[in-house]
Structure 1
């Protein structure tokens, strides 16, 4: 069994006036915001500059999360173990110095979710003193492997998923190790894009380094170290105060996956501990639907933040009350070299499971189930005009569950995404060589209740050249999102491939499925679960739903007893 706790902070005891401390702490977030903006403006691939599939963060000298920037929560939450993996490997005097940048992408060794999510880590020095670390983690579109884009639910081990970068020093004292970049480019199906995204990550961290060092020069190193330690301690105080205000007790939930596997969790809340127990779940799978312990810890962190206050600080101190219990070598704590390329579907399923356990006890804070699939859609092939090889990634929007007081939100990303966006149709068409024939709310039935679950989407990609492919691994393709208090379950996630000949095929998961000019990929994402008895939904509201196309007249008659517009 693995128990995962957050360590205690260290604190420099230098006296600093509270106004200066507040200014320095506000600057920490400004630094990570600048890192985020730099990455967004300089990246080469649309998964980074449009979707914002990356995260940045700042750490104290011991590798504890001090300030998290915008980005995907799952990325930011995993970066602390990444920094600590560098400190563990490069622990001798002189191993780490000014101008060094480290690179890692092996999920089981700390800081990484799957191998496409490359982590860059930079130590920050004020003179000869190490004052902290900066990290950047972003999804690179291709790092080799057996499958285009490195993604496949069918992968059997890490070796099939791409090039491994085992916590290496890619830049030393400001000098790039060109051999490493050459190896990366030689293994990538899109070498120029990979090279560009690497240098974007470097630029992001160097921007943060300049600001971090300037902060130490302006206020003095002791003051900065004191302010960072105080910031972490403040995060802990806020978290423990919020924990005391939660309902205490034991909260259980189970869920059945599309392939019939039962998952379970028990959450125990006391004055001092927020314990997430995932023991008893299936062992590591033979496919890529596994995730590492670090990824599972992020689920506990995210649900803790969701119920304790999303606007609170998010640093190492914030997560100190969390205790995670997981069986070793399980699908929630896979060991090297287990395949994890579609880890995101397992983590979002796990996150939804924790949500389900707590939602009945916290109806004012948590909704019914949402579409709970990243719905990562990987497409590639030659650009129809230039012939350049492309590989693009787009997670999909979906419906959120209804709340006790209102309908669910339409077409929003999952709770795992954070500050991410869909690729605009104009970018998909101009840059990625596709045509977007349709983007609308889905008309599928599901999610009815006193309050209705948010609507998923229907998105149609038209392929414009021969020799394309698609890879997907959606979950919630058989069992829709759960309702609450009598609300109906939501609909399901899937794709349909419509060939130019008119032939149709439906898929939940596929790997490099061939596509040619004229084929259309129809993406359909799920509605969220409903809340409350559908019979209690006001007739005028049902009529408005029919008018807006949220529900068909026949479905409204079946579920709500609709007999036409009461006006």
Structure 2
């Protein structure tokens, strides 16, 4: 007999309430600022086999998929040996985790001796051991340098803690008392969830609850398949780049081909860069996470978040690539690589549904750690989000795909617990990508060290390759992290955005400049009144208003004339097909005369705007044999450019 749909809805509401209560408990009882202030954790209810059943909109997608992968991993390892009161830890990227700092706690829930569900919490532990305080290093060479790897480990049996296991674990992390407090908060949330699940079975009956869980998954699958049917069938491709590996300055290519066929989407990441000797690698879960998160956000944002909605998606992530690396590759930069994959999915799927395109955002987790004797401060500096057809981007946000996570640590929290003083925090003028709709602004935050000495570590992306614009919109400003010492600004690392244990002195000022979001549409089409307002608010400079947007403040006729001149000055090139380059970078060849007109040189990064999608980014190669009106790209680039790609504009990115 089919379940009453009202009963299914009531079970869904109860499950959502359970997850929200778990969040509240953790925020109130955890020890780490990263959890209390940053909300870098997630809670979920899963089936006994580890499939996601319930999560709130406040959870982090990275954690949600990793919770499910990790739960399935532990079920496989301990099958037949899981009982009431057991607790398990997991953080291993290679068996479903994200990076080592994201520690998952799993608590199987039983009715008598029969499994009913599993509840889980994944939280960013501020330190998990490794080569630097905070564990995340931009120059880690293998996973052993990033901390303790926990591939499904029982830490309690039948309600009794395995103290020897915990003693070994906490002897190898910094701030062990805080880590114990975080674990206790996670465990408390799981035990409350167990009581709520038992109350639900008392209300509805065990059989009804189990049937409702199955129904919720089936309903989400049907809804997602119907949303996919609205997308035109076809193959769609795009590519983007990571700044570097942390070991070399060479950018890393990320490529995707999406095939839409009826009510299914196949995502093939073949062509992504091979795994690297640095932290810019992923285990098997995040490629699925990125595909699911952005496909659902674009096609079915209001639907339930569970494993049923994932069923219509098929993902290929080649083993040995940066999107599915082999051990012992370092995996600390999940926030950078996964976010780049999300941008890749949006840019690829956007070709099929251009009306839903959004400019790229500041892109990376930007995790910045300042640590010294008896203190550890870590935060994820916020940046701008991309513009859409309906609005400008948002200023100084984390991003749209990370739930309730907060990236701006309150000044009071930073200064109360650490010898630091926040001296400046402002919106970063001209950082939002120009467009008919402007990208959101990044921030500039300056933090002075008051202790005799400390270390600075940064793990970031979008310091070299900026957030892309869409449908003619410009790229956003890049991230940049520097130190002011004795009045002079210095670079803390030879590789932008990858800093490991840089020695800070008393009085040094850490400067965080975060990226802006990509613009949407032609900036010369933006309403002059909106440009004037941006100047008044300090979002853009008067120079940018004139030179980028073509607006002469308070002079409409002069604005029209200036815009006509700027349009005429745009450099357009006839595109011819060249050979596929052996370089890992996308190459565009132009003549020396063309490079001189554009004021660009060999190796500079340029963007090729597209009317129906994100800009294509490429590096310049000077080709003396070409004439000044022609550029040459490989056939694979022409396939991405699509219709209208026979004549293109080039501009500095």
TM-score norm. by structure 1 comes to 0.93
Within-5 A mapping of 1:268-283? 268-283=259-274
Work out whether residues 282 and 322 of structure 2, in 8 Å CA contact, stay in contact via their aligned partners in 1: yes
Equivalent of 2:450, from 458, 464, 475?
464
SS of the aligned residue for 1:462 comes to strand
Whether the aligned pair in 1 keeps the contact of 2:53 and 2:216 (CA below 8 Å) is yes
Aligned length: 545
Q: Which residue of 229, 233, 241 corresponds with 2:214?
A: 229
Q: Please state if 1:139 is matched with 2:130.
A: no
How much does 1:503 deviate? 4.6
The yes-or-no answer on 1:72 pairing with 2:68 is: no
Deviates more, 1:410-419 or 1:121-130: 410-419
Distance 1:342 1:536, change over 3 A: same
Deviation at 1:349, TM superposition (A): 1.0
> How far has the Cα of 1:62 moved from its partner?
2.4
Which one of the candidate residues 315, 336, 346 is aligned to 2:337? 346
How big is the shift at 1:566? 4.0
Q: 2:500 aligns with which of 505, 511, 519?
A: 511
Aligned CA distance change for structure 1 residues 503 and 368 (closer, same or farther; 3 Å): closer
Pair 1:30 & 2:30 matched:
no
1:418 to 1:247, Cα distance in 2 relative to 1, 3 A: farther
Partner-residue secondary structure (3-state), 2:28: helix
Q: How far apart, in 2, do the equivalents of 1:503 and 1:163 lie?
A: 35
- Within 5 A, what are the aligned runs for 1:335-374? 335-374=326-365
Q: Which residue pairs with 1:55 in the alignment?
A: 42
1:167 aligns with 2:152: yes
Aligned to 1:82: 70
Give the equivalent residue in structure 2 for 1:386.
none
SS at match of 1:352: helix
- Tell whether the 8 Å contact from 1:378 to 1:392 is kept in structure 2 after alignment: yes
User: What are the residue-to-residue correspondences of 1:74-223 with 2, within 5 Å?
Assistant: 74-92=62-80, 95-110=81-96, 112-223=97-208
Does the CA-based 8 Å contact 1:232-1:315 persist in structure 2?
Answer: yes
Whole-Å separation in 1 of the counterparts to 2:480 and 2:71: 37
1:320 aligns with 2:311: yes
Q: Distance in 1 between matches of 2:116 and 2:431?
A: 55
Paired residues for 1:403-414 under 5 Å? 403-414=388-399
Asked if 2 retains the 8 angstrom alpha-carbon contact of 1:235 and 1:317, the reply is: yes
CA distance in 1, matches of 2:215, 2:431: 51
Residues 225-234 or 353-362, more deviating: 353-362
Q: Deviations over 1:382-437 (max 9, x none)?
A: 3xxxxxx1223211211111112321111111234221112111111112332111
Cα distance change of structure 1 residues 153 and 232 upon mapping to structure 2, 3 Å threshold: same
SS in structure 2 of the partner of residue 318 of structure 1 = helix
Deviation string 1:104-129 (CA, Å, 9 cap, x unpaired) is 1211012x111111111010011121
The answer on 1:289 being equivalent to 2:275 is no
- SS of residue in 2 equivalent to 1:146: coil
Match of 2:418? 432
Aligned match of 1:4: none
Change (3 A) 1:280 1:314: same
Q: Is the 8 A contact 2:483 2:509 kept in 1?
A: yes
2:546 matches 1:557:
yes
Of 397-406 and 324-333, deviating more is 397-406
Aligned to 2:480, which of 479, 487, 494? 494
Aligned residue for 2:491, secondary structure, equals strand
Is the contact between residue 102 and residue 170 of structure 1 (CA under 8 Å) also seen in structure 2?
yes
Give unmatched runs, 5+ long, in structure 2: 244-249, 557-653
* Alpha carbons 2:226, 2:263 under 8 Å: kept: no
Q: Is the 8 A contact 2:361 2:399 kept in 1?
A: yes
Gap change, CA 1:22 and 1:260, over 3 Å in 2: closer
Query: Are the aligned partners of 2:85 and 2:159 in contact in 1 as well (CA < 8 Å)?
Result: yes
Aligned to 1:39: 26
SS in 2 for 1:150: coil
User: Could you tell me whether the CA contact under 8 Å between 2:242 and 2:337 is conserved in 1?
Assistant: no
CA shift at 1:341, angstroms?
1.3
User: Judging changes above 3 Å, is the alpha-carbon distance between structure 1 residues 42 and 273 closer, same or farther for their aligned structure 2 residues?
Assistant: same
What's the offset of the Cα at 1:351?
Answer: 1.1
Q: 1:482 aligns with which of 445, 461, 468?
A: 468
2:528 aligned with 1:539: yes
For 1:503 and 1:527, how far apart are their aligned partners in 2? 22
Quick one: higher RCO (CA 8 Å, sep 6+), 1 or 2?
Answer: 1
Q: CA, structure 1 residues 308+503, in 2 after alignment: closer, same or farther (shift >3 Å)?
A: closer
* Residue matched to 1:20: 7
* Residue pair 2:482, 2:489 contacting (<8 A) in 1 also: no
Per the alignment, in what secondary structure is the counterpart of residue 187 of structure 1?
coil
**CA positional deviation for 1:24:** 1.7
Is residue 95–residue 284 contact of structure 2 (8 Å, CA) maintained in 1?
no
Is the Cα–Cα contact under 8 Å of residues 456 and 526 in structure 1 kept in the other structure?
yes
| CA-to-aligned-CA distance 1:454-485 (integer Å, 9 cap, x gap) | 11111111111122111112111122211122
Separation (CA, whole Å) in 2 of partners of 1:244 and 1:275: 13
Mapped partners of 1:440, 1:353: distance in 2: 30
**Is 2:219–2:308's contact at 8 Å kept on the other side of the alignment?**
yes
Query: Which residue of the partner structure matches residue 241 of structure 1?
Result: 226
Secondary structure in structure 1 of the residue aligned to 2:546: helix
Q: CA deviation at 1:369?
A: 1.4
| CA distance, structure 1, for counterparts of residue 358 and residue 151 of structure 2 | 40
User: 1:446: how far off?
Assistant: 5.3
Q: Is the 8 A contact 1:445 1:555 kept in 2?
A: no
Q: 1:96 to 1:552 in 2, by over 3 A?
A: same
- Paired with 2:49 and 2:129, the residues of 1 have a C-alpha distance of 34
1:385 is matched with none
Question: In 1, distance between residues paired with 2:196 and 2:242?
Answer: 46
* Cα distance in 1 for residues equivalent to 2:169 and 2:441: 41
Contact 1:363 1:403 in 2 (8 A): no
Structure showing greater radius of gyration is 2
> CA contact under 8 A between 1:124 and 1:130: conserved in structure 2?
yes
CA shift, 1:19, in A, is 3.0
Unaligned runs of 5+ in 1: 1-13, 383-388
